[in-house]
Structure 1
Amino acid sequence: MEINDKKQYKILIVDDRQKNIQVLGSLLRQENYIIGVATNGEQALEILIGSNDYDLILLDVNMPVMDGFEACRAIRVHEDLKEIPIIFLTAMVDTDSIVTGFEAGGQDYVTKPFNSNELLAKVNTHLELKHSKDQLRKVNQWLEDKVLERTKELRHSHLKLQKAYQELNVLDKSKSEFLAIISHQINTPLNGILGFIGVLKHEITDTHLQEMFKYLEISAHRLDSFSKVSLKITRLRTRTLPVDKKQIAIEDLIRSSQESLVEKIKSKNIAFDIGGAGNMIKGDPELVEFCIESILDNAINYSPNNGIVQINISSAGNNTRFAVIDRGNGFNPRSLNNLFELFVPDQEHSEENKGLDLALAKLIMDAHEGTIEVLNNEGKGATVILTFPN
């Protein structure tokens, strides 16, 4: 790297002989260096302390008052003068003198009588090194400032995120508590309504009224289901619903779910094709049964009349895989990414409050350290896969 703008570099010549000062000054000025002069070590130290803008020192060794080695040591005591390169001018070339100069804090030496080319080469080299060190020091300082600035920004961002997280937790807790209250307030009068409907539908003989009560009962049961699912979701999200894990046979849960859905199965004449058997899983029987029943109910709802729902049970390492395959219209591709979100109803598969059922199924699988996947089949239908750790 060549030194540019040499007039910016300032060199202090320290020598007790005027002839040497004149020769050195003339040579260096031809190279556009700015020159300062001192005739002994003490004077040089005073100049440097008063103005620390010098870039290099040419220091004679043999001088009265304070010799070059002593002056060098005195200069190095000052923190802001430690980085200025010092080149000794000396007639002593014995090893002891050279070592003494380096130990005192010098960087190099030029022997008297000096060679102009050698002197300029060494001056140029040490100025280049000083320039590089200065630039590196500036870059390091800039980087340190940037790190401190970025750390401050990150700390501020972290505090903001922490505050936002706390606020979200409060909102989430409030929402969950509100859902629990609503579910309870709905469930209590709803039990009475369902009881009265059960009594009245057997007393009414009018065909038109019987049909009306049938739809009224369906709507009431749907509301009852919504209330119970909402409460389960709330308790799972707030970790207030105990998960009592036991060894259970998945075939028993399938059979129990089919019994609960028997009227719907008969009305659509749905057949089941079940493959695989003998698999045990560790889970909460009530929660896992709800999960399986919801998936089967969904498959029945969207299967055509006289359709087939396929169930595959298989082992995959330390996991049991439960897959339900229907031949309905499949899920809307745009909603596949948010099927398990609360209150984001899917236009195709969630028209009968299945959005909450799938959200609850996801929470149940999370509580069992399992997974739930939803895929559209090639051609027609959809596949829902539950994976349970054994």
Structure 2
Amino acid sequence: MADDRSNKPRPTPVILVVDDQAANVRVVGQLLAQAGFEVVPAMSGQEGLDLARADPPDLVLLDMRMPGMTGFQVLQALQDPPTTQDIPVIFLTADIERDSLTRAFGAGAVDYITKPFVAEELLVRVRTHIELKQSRDALRRIAAEKQQVAETVAHDLRNYFANILFAADMLRDTDLPVASRLRLIESIRSSGDSGVLFLQAFLDQQSEQAHGTSVEPLPAILLLRETFDLLERQAHAKNIAVRIDVAEAVILLGHRAGATHVLQNLLSNALKYSPIGSEVVLTASRTGKRGRLLVLDRGPGICKGDQPRLFQRYVTLSAQPTQGESSTGLGLALAKQRARTMGGDLWYDDREGGGSIFTFELPLA
């Protein structure tokens, strides 16, 4: 499979023209340039191969018969490295013998053009194969993204299940003190709730993508109250007070499921890392044409060394949950991605006096 460079769409497709005849390269190059393509010329098979390997083009127009390294040899060499094997190659040839054309297609060519060529035909064939390559690359990117999403979901759910199974195994100990038993039961319940929330958020996101869910006005006070209602049990288990402090009407614009998913993640993290008996504050404010939802806690905060990696996937931070709650290293990365898909953002600040401030920003309605 080609590497990322060959899979990223470029604003102007690049065509590598390989021909030992300078006149042919000039004529073809001028035609393609006038049609809006970027042209890279090569006067020999070896030069063309070197250029293709150094910076893979979107398509190669390759002379079949050249002294030294022939077009067939260039094509064969292009099939080996992962950076060039998916580049479509069109042969330019004056040889219309059936065996040569059969050999060309067998070697990996996608098409051929007979010299002297007709300009309109050359452009149509080039555009067709450029579009086909772009479509293949897009499908490849989509498949890679879906695989990454599947791995993310499996990774998260595996952690929730592992915590549940561990706590269930511990409960088999008949000599376990009542207080320890109750903590394990609460841990099972908390992991189950978190797993269900994560799965529901994922399903909501997939539904939005499939059906093109439109944005809607979202009153900040309602979003914050709904988020607290979903995690009230977790707050109560750690004797953490959650205070909603919204002094003004703030109405945001976004996807309800997406915004709720981000806030659930932020409040869940605040409860995980806050000390027992502390307070978490949920608030909202306006800044120009943007609205902000803030989650403030009195946990350990994020150390300076961890802050640059805070929103990266699968990152293990120095701070640990105060009661050993599970952490996958994915929640904040997914939350930031979700915020940005709605035209917003998510960031962290140290809280004066100790603790964390996570700010979730969206456009105002």
> TM (normalized to structure 1)?
0.47
- Aligned residue number for residue 254 of structure 1: 224
- Measured on the aligned residues, the alpha-carbon RMSD in Å equals 4.4
Greater relative contact order (Cα < 8 A, sep 6+): 2
Task: Specify every segment of 5 or more residues in structure 1 that has no aligned partner in the other structure, as ranges.
Answer: 1-146
1:342 to 310, 313, 324: 313
2:184 to 212, 215, 218: 215
- Aligned residue number for residue 387 of structure 1: 361
Shift of 1:336: 1.5
1:263 to 233, 237, 240: 233
Separation in 2 of the partners of 1:162 and 1:231?
41
1:318 to 2:216 alignment: no
- Aligned residue number for residue 293 of structure 1: 264
Report the 3-state secondary structure (helix = DSSP H, G, I; strand = E; otherwise coil) of the residue aligned with 1:334. coil
**Is the alpha carbon distance of 1:367 and 1:224 closer, same or farther for their aligned partners in structure 2, counting shifts above 3 Å?**
same
More deviation in 257-266 or 327-336?
257-266
Within-5 A mapping of 1:120-139: none
**Is the alpha carbon distance of 1:387 and 1:342 closer, same or farther for their aligned partners in structure 2, counting shifts above 3 Å?**
same
Within-5 A mapping of 1:102-181: 153=51, 156-159=54-57, 160=83, 166=137, 170-179=143-152
Shift of 1:388: 0.7
Quick one: percent identity of the two aligned structures? Answer: 20
- Aligned residue number for residue 101 of structure 2: none
The amino acid across from 1:381 in the alignment is G
Separation in 2 of the partners of 1:262 and 1:284?
23
- Aligned residue number for residue 99 of structure 1: none
1:377 to 2:346 alignment: no
- Aligned residue number for residue 364 of structure 1: 338
Cα-to-partner distance string for 1:207-237 (whole Å, 9 max, x where unaligned)? 8579547525624642663475368459859
**Is the alpha carbon distance of 1:252 and 1:206 closer, same or farther for their aligned partners in structure 2, counting shifts above 3 Å?**
farther
- The count of residues paired between Structure 1 and Structure 2 equals 232
Shift of 1:158: 4.1
Shift of 1:385: 0.6
Separation in 2 of the partners of 1:345 and 1:314?
31
Structure label with greater radius of gyration: 1
Task: Specify every segment of 5 or more residues in structure 2 that has no aligned partner in the other structure, as ranges.
Answer: 1-39, 58-82, 88-133
- Aligned residue number for residue 229 of structure 1: 198
Separation in 2 of the partners of 1:318 and 1:219?
42
Report the 3-state secondary structure (helix = DSSP H, G, I; strand = E; otherwise coil) of the residue aligned with 2:259. helix
Separation in 1 of the partners of 2:211 and 2:193?
19
- Aligned residue number for residue 353 of structure 1: 327
Q: Is the 8 A contact 2:241 2:278 kept in 1?
A: yes
**Is the alpha carbon distance of 1:257 and 1:173 closer, same or farther for their aligned partners in structure 2, counting shifts above 3 Å?**
closer
**Is the alpha carbon distance of 1:248 and 1:314 closer, same or farther for their aligned partners in structure 2, counting shifts above 3 Å?**
same
Q: Is the 8 A contact 2:201 2:257 kept in 1?
A: no
1:245 to 185, 208, 215: 215
Q: Is the 8 A contact 1:314 1:322 kept in 2?
A: yes
Report the 3-state secondary structure (helix = DSSP H, G, I; strand = E; otherwise coil) of the residue aligned with 1:255. helix
**Is the alpha carbon distance of 1:185 and 1:262 closer, same or farther for their aligned partners in structure 2, counting shifts above 3 Å?**
closer
Separation in 1 of the partners of 2:233 and 2:86?
51
* Structure richer in helix, relative to its length: 1
- Aligned residue number for residue 303 of structure 1: 274
**Is the alpha carbon distance of 1:341 and 1:242 closer, same or farther for their aligned partners in structure 2, counting shifts above 3 Å?**
farther
More deviation in 171-180 or 325-334?
171-180
Q: Is the 8 A contact 1:343 1:356 kept in 2?
A: yes
**Is the alpha carbon distance of 1:292 and 1:170 closer, same or farther for their aligned partners in structure 2, counting shifts above 3 Å?**
closer
> TM (normalized to structure 2)?
0.50
**Is the alpha carbon distance of 1:379 and 1:354 closer, same or farther for their aligned partners in structure 2, counting shifts above 3 Å?**
farther
